[in-house]
Amino acid sequence: MKGMMLVAFGIMWAFIAQAQGPQWNEITTPVKASLRGLSPVSDKICWASGSNGTWLKTMDGGLTWEHGVIAGLDTVDFRSIQAFDQNTAVAASAGQPAVIYRTVDGGRSWSKAHQEEAEAAFFDGISFSNRKNGYVIGDPVEGKWMILETEDGGKTWQSLTNLPDAEIGEAAFAASASSLIADKTGLIFGTGGPVSNLHFYRFKDWTWTKVKTPILQGEPSQGIFAIASTEAGLVAVGGDYTKLEDREKHAFIYNDGSFEYPIAMPLGYRSGLAYWKKKNLTIAVGPSGSDFSTDGGKSWNDFSPTGYHAVKTSPDQKAIWASGSGGRIGILIP
């Protein structure tokens, strides 16, 4: 009887834990920077970057951290980072100077791979389709979107030959470096400001298409901040970063040319988004908290008031990591 009671208690506890949803395992790091750049490699290895030129890396799941300042640039905000293993990573700044740096020795040294001379240059995000081919999205310059590409893992960068037009005032957001997706078929990026669009680029025929979105827009602080592909379609989150708890039209799903709003919206403005295919779990984060969806973004439930800027799934599908202000890092407990 006692054994049966213990089994029953275990089942009940598991049911309660599942009903409560996921949780964050919050990790203490040795830095206090605002971390918007995030790139997990596995459940053990994760890189992050952010304000004051900060980079940091763990190789043991967050127990210990290595950290430093990229090339001594302690006034630069590196909001985008792409890591490939414990030794190799590429980081891009937001603002001036508009630079891209690369390390191959685990962060001990960084070499400049690219610098944009235009004063208007502002990098918003980085995405690689494989270890060699990567892209950086930047705000428009002279009416054209800035998109850089690399074919050698970030050693050298050049402008994409066919750049799409930008509408007046249209911009991207560097809040989590998550407004750009690169895969084997092409590129997708989401925008905001006076107007919000999804831009699609097909590698097959090098053509761009643009679709106006129904997300909150019209002000410089409004629009799409992060996108992710789920089983339900392309999911986007955002809103207005000056109104952290506003829930007006700040998420949508795009599928086969049509848009739909979630049945239940995320609990406020959200800057980061990640899809954990292995667990069929989608996570949205923002300064006011975190939400999860088990139906590809069709409905959301809040599960944590802890604020994060960015959230990413590791390529090996073993973990979801998050980063935020004050050197905050989290690992999801599903």
For residue 101, the model assigns a pLDDT of 98
| Span 13-53, pLDDT tens digits | 333 334 468 999 999 999 999 999 999 999 999 999 999 99
For residue 90, the model assigns a pLDDT of 98
Task: Specify whether domain 27-333 bears CATH 3.90.220.20.
Answer: no
Distance CA 237, CA 241 (A): 11
Within a 13 Å sphere around the CA of 163, how many CA atoms are in the beta-carbon half?
A: 21
For residue 3, the model assigns a pLDDT of 40
**Burial of 68 (C-beta count, 10 Å sphere; 0-12/13-18/19+):** middle
For residue 1, the model assigns a pLDDT of 40
Give the tokens for residue 303: 């599960």
For residue 21, the model assigns a pLDDT of 85
pTM of the model: 0.92
Distance (Å) of CA 167 to CA 20, 88, 178, 216? 43, 36, 21, 16
- Residue 147 contacts residue 159 (beta carbons within 8 Å): yes
Q: Could you list the pLDDT tens digit for every one of the 334 residues in the chain?
A: 434 333 333 333 333 334 468 999 999 999 999 999 999 999 999 999 999 999 999 999 999 999 999 999 999 999 999 999 999 999 999 999 999 999 999 999 999 999 999 888 999 999 999 999 999 999 999 999 999 999 999 999 999 999 999 999 999 999 999 999 999 999 999 999 999 999 999 999 999 999 999 999 999 999 999 999 999 999 999 999 999 999 999 999 999 899 999 999 999 999 999 999 999 999 999 999 999 999 999 999 999 999 999 999 999 999 999 999 999 999 999 9
Helices (H), the chain: 2-20
Give the 3-state DSSP-derived string for the chain, with helices as H, strands as E and coil as C: CHHHHHHHHHHHHHHHHHHHCCEEEEECCCCCCCEEEEEECCCCCEEEEEHHHEEEEECCCCCCCEEEEHHHCCCCEEEEEEECCCCCEEEEEECCCEEEEEECCCCCCCEEEEEECCCCCCEEEEEECCCCCEEEEEEEECCEEEEEEECCCCCCCEECCCCCECCCCCECCCCCCECEEECCCEEEEECECCCCEEEEEECCCCEEEEEECCCCCCCCCEEEEEEEEECCEEEEEEEECCCCCCCCCCEEEEECCEEECCCECCCCCCCEEEEEHHHCEEEEEECCEEEEECCCCCECEEEECCCCCEEEECCCCCCEEEECHHHCEEEEEC
| Per-domain residue ranges of the chain | 27-333
